[in-house]
Amino acid sequence: MNHSPLQNLRDRALLKTAAYVNGAWLEQTQRFSVTDPATGLELARVADTDRGHAQQAIAAAGAAWPAWRDKTAKERATLLMRWNALMLEHADDLALLMTAEQGKPLAEARGEVAYAASFLEWFAEEGRRVCGETIATHDPGKRLLVLRQAVGVCAAITPWNFPLAMITRKVAPALAAGCPVIVKPAEQTPLCALALAELAARAGLPPGIFNVLSADGANSIAVGRALCESPVVRHLSFTGSTEVGRILIRQCAPTIKKLSLELGGNAPFIVFDDADIESAVEGALISKFRNAGQTCVCVNRFYVQEGVYETFVTRLAERVRELRLGNGFDPGVQVASLIDDPAVEKVRQHVSDAQSKGGRVLAGGRLRSGRLFEPTVIADASADMLCAHEETFGPVAPIFRFQSEAEAIALANATEFGLASYLYSRDIGRIFRVAEALESGMVGINTGHISTAEAPFGGVKQSGLGREGSRHGIEDYLELKYLCLGGI
Ligand code: SIN
């Protein structure tokens, strides 16, 4: 008999399997199975909501909106701060749920809980700094003013790779701005979202303000469509693939919604001859192998200048061979299970394609067992390989060679994506030239870790629209209203 990791929850009431709508746990007979990606074992059977439940949630959020909007920013901030404190108090249990349903190493899951809670804290504070404007008038008999007002009911469709942080990064600015939210979490990871709803209830968020609709397969698509098509929902935020982003844009077109989209990436990581190689190798490990390569900002392509190429690939391969691969619950594990079999298949395909086109596998290259793919380094990568164009979303580091700065910039920008880029150099002039020329929303310079609540996260080109986090992250949830006051 296999022991479920969920038996180790300290607060068993955080394991919720019903959807959360209008401050209540919905009685729902239809259920789907949520499994541990590392073992394939069932963790729980969770409510499979449908279009009707989505409409119920939209109506509840619409009804709850006026009272929430009319609270002061400080009143809303107090509730968000309580929610933040509860997340931190229950960090161990939330991390346990995350590792169980998503697979990432427990230490990373703990880091994500803190990262997720930080958005509640940040936007509780930012909500109190929303300011309008007065404008120098064009007419002595008139005064011109601008209000910033909550956009209305918001929907968030969130991914499995960050089961908590991608929810709070969207929900916190919406709530702080005065908007209620309906979340449809990824079908692979609803348990974290539902635990978050339990903590929202404990924090005292009023009914209808934060709703969670778990759903699987066909119902997941139907719920997403209902949120997109509703005229009551005024804003949709989505993190996921560019392909699904395009579908959601089409579904939102008839009701002209505001959209925040954080879509696919194909991040380049450029190492110049003048870089500190040890530091570049450490940055590469963080930015490539975090969450087993399953983040939108993970490096997909390494470009290393001719003069340091062999040194970099040799040293990176040495360090990668030291990474501990295993079950996310095992102490010291740094790289854990991929999310599902299609993910494993994609990684396998990218590795064999690279090998067939002359790539030298210097570390890893194989599926060890289950969904544990060895962290992999491939030297002599070339532009005709699949990994040069498609996001691998797995623990594979293909390393390409380049000669000049101009060539590196051209290679890095040769993609329809533009989320994150990384560069390593100690030449300050070069740092500015290259950072300014890179077509991406974010650039890590001499670091492999860029994510934080204080900074604007988002992409250009086909990597998305809008920014999350930072003081800009609340803007998507606010509308400007111009007041023209005559008769002065
Ligand atoms: C993502 O993969 O979409 C988010 C990664 C991050 O916030 O660091």
pLDDT in tens, 4-23: 999 999 999 999 999 999 99
Residue 1 has pLDDT above 60, yes or no: no
User: What per-residue confidence (pLDDT) applies to 270?
Assistant: 98
Task: Strands of 222-343 (E only): list them.
Answer: 233-239, 258-262, 267-271, 299-305
Q: Are 440 and 421 in contact (CB under 8 A)?
A: yes
CA distances from 159 to 79, 165, 167, 186, 263 (A): 25, 10, 9, 5, 10
Please tell me the distance from the alpha carbon of residue 316 to that of residue 322, in angstroms, as a whole number.
10
- Most informative mutation of 169, 457, 467, 468 for ligand 1 (most atoms within 8 A of CB): 457
Atom of ligand 1 nearest to the CA of 161: 2
Ligand 1: distance of its center to the CA of 20 in Å?
A: 25
Please tell me the distance from the alpha carbon of residue 135 to that of residue 19, in angstroms, as a whole number.
46
Query: How much is the average pLDDT of 287-316?
Result: 98
What would the two tokens of residue 206 be?
């009023």
User: What per-residue confidence (pLDDT) applies to 28?
Assistant: 72
Residue 367 has pLDDT above 60, yes or no: yes
Q: Return the residue whose CA atom lies nearest to atom 7 of ligand 1.
A: 451
State the pLDDT confidence band at 358, using cuts at 50, 70 and 90.
very high
User: What per-residue confidence (pLDDT) applies to 2?
Assistant: 64
| 390-431 confidence digits (pLDDT tens) | 999 999 999 999 999 999 999 999 999 999 999 999 999 999
User: What per-residue confidence (pLDDT) applies to 75?
Assistant: 98
Atom of ligand 1 nearest to the CA of 159: 3
| 329-350 confidence digits (pLDDT tens) | 999 999 999 999 999 999 999 9
Ligand 1: distance of its center to the CA of 161 in Å?
A: 8
Please tell me the distance from the alpha carbon of residue 235 to that of residue 258, in angstroms, as a whole number.
5
- Most informative mutation of 170, 260, 296 for ligand 1 (most atoms within 8 A of CB): 296
| Ligand 1, pocket residues at CB < 6 Å | 161-162, 239, 262, 295-297, 451, 457
Atom of ligand 1 nearest to the CA of 291: 2
Atom of ligand 1 nearest to the CA of 294: 2
Please tell me the distance from the alpha carbon of residue 481 to that of residue 135, in angstroms, as a whole number.
13
Please tell me the distance from the alpha carbon of residue 169 to that of residue 158, in angstroms, as a whole number.
10
Ligand 1: distance of its center to the CA of 225 in Å?
A: 24
Please tell me the distance from the alpha carbon of residue 31 to that of residue 43, in angstroms, as a whole number.
13
- Helices 190-203, 73-89: axis angle to 10 degrees equals 120
User: What per-residue confidence (pLDDT) applies to 197?
Assistant: 98
User: What per-residue confidence (pLDDT) applies to 29?
Assistant: 74
Atom of ligand 1 nearest to the CA of 451: 8
Please tell me the distance from the alpha carbon of residue 328 to that of residue 39, in angstroms, as a whole number.
11
User: What per-residue confidence (pLDDT) applies to 394?
Assistant: 98
What would the two tokens of residue 101 be?
């349903």
Please tell me the distance from the alpha carbon of residue 87 to that of residue 212, in angstroms, as a whole number.
17
Q: Return the residue whose CA atom lies nearest to atom 8 of ligand 1.
A: 451
pTM above 0.95? yes
Query: How much is the average pLDDT of 186-211?
Result: 98
| 453-462 confidence digits (pLDDT tens) | 999 999 999 9
Neighbours of 110 (CB within 10 A): 17
Phi, psi of 83 (to 5 degrees): -65, -45
Neighbours of 221 (CB within 10 A): 14
Ligand 1: distance of its center to the CA of 271 in Å?
A: 22
Q: Return the residue whose CA atom lies nearest to atom 3 of ligand 1.
A: 296
| 222-236 confidence digits (pLDDT tens) | 999 999 999 999 999
| 161-179 confidence digits (pLDDT tens) | 999 999 999 999 999 999 9
Phi, psi of 10 (to 5 degrees): -75, -40
What would the two tokens of residue 98 be?
């995350």
Please tell me the distance from the alpha carbon of residue 100 to that of residue 217, in angstroms, as a whole number.
20
Q: Return the residue whose CA atom lies nearest to atom 6 of ligand 1.
A: 451
Atom of ligand 1 nearest to the CA of 290: 8
Please tell me the distance from the alpha carbon of residue 224 to that of residue 405, in angstroms, as a whole number.
44
User: What per-residue confidence (pLDDT) applies to 101?
Assistant: 98
Catalytic residues: 262, 296
Please tell me the distance from the alpha carbon of residue 218 to that of residue 214, in angstroms, as a whole number.
12
What's the mean pLDDT when you consider all of the chain?
97
State the pLDDT confidence band at 159, using cuts at 50, 70 and 90.
very high
Q: Return the residue whose CA atom lies nearest to atom 5 of ligand 1.
A: 295
What would the two tokens of residue 14 be?
């955080």
Please tell me the distance from the alpha carbon of residue 281 to that of residue 446, in angstroms, as a whole number.
10
- Most informative mutation of 297, 299, 440 for ligand 1 (most atoms within 8 A of CB): 297
Residue 287 has pLDDT above 80, yes or no: yes
CA distances from 224 to 58, 230, 438, 476 (A): 12, 10, 34, 20
Ligand 1: distance of its center to the CA of 296 in Å?
A: 6
Ligand 1: distance of its center to the CA of 26 in Å?
A: 30
- Most informative mutation of 451, 452, 467 for ligand 1 (most atoms within 8 A of CB): 451
Ligand 1: distance of its center to the CA of 451 in Å?
A: 7
